[in-house]
Amino acid sequence: MARTVVITGCSSGFGKLLALHLARRGDRAYATMRATKGKNAAVAAELSSIAAREGIDLRVLELDVSSTDSVDAAAATVLAESGAPDVVINNAGVMYFGFTEAFSTEELAAQLDVNVLGIHRVSRAFLPAMRQRGRGLMINISSIAGRLAVPFFGVYHASKWAVEGYSLALRTELACTGVDVVVVEPGPFETELFGQSPRPADADGRGQTYPGIAHQTFTQLGAAFEGMFSDPGTPTDPTVFVNDVSALIDTAAGQRPFRTVVGVDAGVRERNAAVEPFDAGVLAAFGLTGFATLATGSD
């Protein structure tokens, strides 16, 4: 069954590949991104050209998750053309990397604005129509970084742990409406995310005051990621992500797990399995078991 799918962050990486895959299999895919007439004009033109050449329903749409006006304008276009989307995939994100203390408050706010507030803006724009229809699926792209913590990713961890908590609460609130909310937790993949990671401006030089061992570890950690990407035995091909998300979309309503780990997991799968009974127990302890079951329709 063909679906209408809205995907944020389609200028590169997961979003671009996923939009192409879903459109090619017969879905109507809205490949959204910011600056379609600016820095991303070339990729926007590329996707539109592919859609015309292959006769697939792939629609490029301007959407900047850091702007409420932009998100609302894009949602208005989708709703006018296609009605409530069957699936919304909150994929847009950025990963800040560096000494946590060295990031200014404004830089931390910028990290949270894209990765957390961006999801909230998109949710507010599309959920009313999805709730009114009584079915639908929202997939929030988290990370294994939302389930663990290592040095130098502190502000990124803050954003992804926030995505996890936000999504779990939203899932329970929406269960009675028929709209499902799940998260996907990728490990490291060969996308532009790591290579484009903003570093702290560190105007007052705080990072330089840390001991040499900390700087050595910072360098080694970056090298370890690069080595992982070059190892053919490590599952870092983005098509793994695309296939797993496609399978999640195709899973029957009410049968989808809340968390799906994709790729290198660093033990997160085991952690998720261990905590699942705890999450259920929290709802039971507060007498909220009715919020744990999705009111199923056909999506």
| Type of residue found at 76 | A
Which of 30, 96, 156, 166 is an active site residue?
Answer: 156
156 is catalytic: yes
Which of 16, 159, 160, 167 is an active site residue?
Answer: 160
| Type of residue found at 265 | D
246 is catalytic: no
11 is catalytic: yes
142 is catalytic: yes
Which of 16, 30, 123, 142 is an active site residue?
Answer: 142
Any idea which residues carry the catalytic annotation? Answer: 11, 142, 156, 160
